[in-house]
Chain A
Amino acid sequence: MSLETPLHRVQGLGSAHSGVKHFWRERVTAAALIPLSLWFVFSVLLFVGKTESEIAAYFQHPWNALLMATFVIVTCVHMMLGLQVVIDDYVHHPGQRIVLLLLNRAFAWLVGGLSLVALLRLVGG
């Protein structure tokens, strides 16, 4: 006899309360970052020796602005998921873990948010 409710059984999540979503999102963002990070590194290499206004003009191009925004967002999501695994694996004290997991979220939002606001200011002129 099982004490599981039918809903609990059909959700198939067990005691972890979550399924493969984290794993899958980490892989999807990783795959997206293959072209995006290549674009980012080649862009930065292109900036070497360039003036401030030339680099600003590069990001003001619509395609480059879109790619940079996408790079920042996808990187921050991937970063948040990856650092979460590191915290889950190495921080065993539940209180410390929860605080660090929240700080991890805050860090990703802060870095991503600041980058996007700066990019919007740059594009808006």
Chain B
Amino acid sequence: MADNPQTPPVRGRPLSPHLSIYKWPVTMATSITHRMTGIAISAGMVLVAWGLIALASGPELYQPFTAALANPVGLIVLFGFLWSLTYHFLNGIRHLAWDLGYGFEVPTANRTGVFVMALSVLISAGAFAYAWWMLSKSVPI
């Protein structure tokens, strides 16, 4: 196709404000976090499969699996997986309640959103601290 000989001049038109300049409402933040944690858990399922394969194959595969989880990067990944699972679990219940017609009013949805966010951090941090404490008790360093 031939080029248009009368190229229209490009003028700096005013743009409508984009997503990035708006203040994030609670419901928007919890919604995008639900998706991101869902993707994170999907990646985490690779760890679950790896763990089962390692367990079924014996020490020569189980040792590298536990070694990979025990180092700092592994622990961060593990905590990310645990928090994602906790958040997606709690927010999923919030979604199911919405589907049944409960809690969809904006003030309620905002309150349950903040609640779910805080509770997910609290529970996953608590569970991680418990695991850490159990480990320090059982393995003499």
Binding site for B on A (CB under 8 A): 27, 30-31, 33-34, 37-38, 41, 45, 48-49, 52, 55-56, 59, 68, 72, 75-76, 79, 82-83, 86, 107, 111, 114-115, 118-119, 121-122
Question: What residue in chain A is nearest B78 (Cβ atoms)?
Answer: A44
A sample of 23 cross-chain residue pairs with beta-carbon separation below 8 angstroms, ordered by A number, consists of A27-B96, A33-B89, A34-B93, A41-B85, A48-B130, A49-B134, A49-B137, A52-B55, A52-B59, A52-B62, A55-B55, A59-B52, A68-B52, A83-B38, A114-B49, A115-B49, A115-B52, A115-B53, A118-B49, A118-B52, A118-B53, A121-B56, A121-B57
Q: Given A56-B55, A59-B55, does the pair A82, B38 have CB atoms closer than 8 Å?
A: yes
Q: How large is the interface on B (under 10, 10 to 19, 20 to 34, 35 or more residues)?
A: 20 to 34
- Report how far A45 CA is from B139 CA in the complex, Å: 15
B74-92 vs A, Cβ < 8 Å mask (1 yes, 0 no): 0000000010011001001
A119–B58 alpha-carbon span in the complex (Å): 13
**Nearest CB of chain B from residue A88's CB, rounded to whole Å:** 12
Q: Chain B: interface secondary structure?
A: helix
Q: Nearest chain-B residue to A90 (Cβ)?
A: B35
The interface of chain B, by Cβ under 8 A from chain A, is 35, 38-39, 41-42, 45-46, 48-49, 52-53, 55-57, 59, 62, 82, 85-86, 89, 92-93, 95-96, 99, 127, 130-131, 134-135, 137-139
A11 to B117, CA, bound (A): 41
Instruction: Determine the residue in chain A with the shortest Cβ distance to B128.
Output: A45
* CB-based contact A30/B96 at 8 Å: yes
Give B92's nearest chain A residue, CB to CB: A30
